[in-house]
Amino acid sequence: MTTTETHRPDSTAEREDEAIGNEYGGPRVVVSERHHLEPGETERWTDAERLWWSLGPFAGEIPGLVRRVRRILDVSQRGLAKLLGVSQSVVARWETGRTSPRAIVLHRLLDMANVKIGLTDKDSGEVVEPMRDDGARNRAGSRFPAHADLKAKGWWIPRHLRTWTTNDAYRWHKRSRLAEQPSIGYRASRHWKRLEREVWGTPIDHPAHHQVVAELHARDEQRMERRRQAA
């Protein structure tokens, strides 16, 4: 059950909560964590109480992050809006959770506050990094699908020569090796990815271009070594 009460704060944290509540012209809304809001409960609240609830007892998330940036920079909503080139009402909507800043604006906010955000796995607590920016790309310069597992197939040769052992195919192979232009394939099928991951493990990211090239050069050296031993 949700209760609304005005009382004398007994601790520093409560005094801070009371100050924030008074800032928005209303008493502090106390919500027990053991209960959920009843249907229609918020309809009896004042505007100040609804605003406090939108800012209040939750883990912070985007509204809390925006307010933390404001606190670090020691600016008002109007001051932050001026720094970002937006209106004060936009910042107010971010802090009440009615809208959220775009990712590029959020990145700018964190940069202004000299803060770096991190991601962790909920179950294991391990740090989750963004996918690398220098991941291998196809010959058109486009990224491969993020959910695909990349595989170095060899040095690139035109498609119509891949099934033939000809002088043209050999020349293209040699040219691509000197220019370090690999042929990269990938698995997007869930079935084949599951089978290959059971054998080779699950890659955490796409390899970089230089890693694919190094792998192919290592294969060439191993192949030449086997030929020398056979000879």
Structure confidence by residue, pLDDT tens digits, 15-38: 333 333 333 333 333 333 333 455
- Unique residue bearing structure tokens 């050296």: 221
Q: What distance in Å separates the CA atoms of residue 180 and residue 199, rounded to the nearest whole number? A: 28
Residue 43 DSSP SS3: helix
Beta bridge partners of 29: 4
Residues 6+ apart with CB under 8 A from 108: 84
Whole-prediction pTM value? 0.57
- Mean residue pLDDT across the chain: 78
Which candidate, 142, 230, 228, 153, places its Cα nearest to that of 185?
A: 153
* Domain range list for the chain: 2-120, 149-230
Number of Cβ atoms within 10 Å of the Cβ of 120: 10
**Predicted confidence (pLDDT) at residue 181 exceeds the cutoff of 90:** yes
Higher-pLDDT residue of 19, 54: 54
**Predicted confidence (pLDDT) at residue 167 exceeds the cutoff of 60:** yes
Q: Could you give the C-alpha distances from 123 to 120, 128, 163, in angstroms and in order?
A: 9, 12, 47
CA 30 to chain centre: 34
CATH code for the structural domain at 2-120: 1.10.260.40
Higher-pLDDT residue of 15, 107: 107
The pLDDT tens digits for 186-217 are 877 889 889 988 998 888 899 999 999 999 99
Q: What distance in Å separates the CA atoms of residue 149 and residue 202, rounded to the nearest whole number? A: 8
The pLDDT tens digits for 82-105 are 999 999 999 988 988 888 898 889
- Unique residue bearing structure tokens 């964190």: 110
Q: What distance in Å separates the CA atoms of residue 210 and residue 181, rounded to the nearest whole number? A: 10
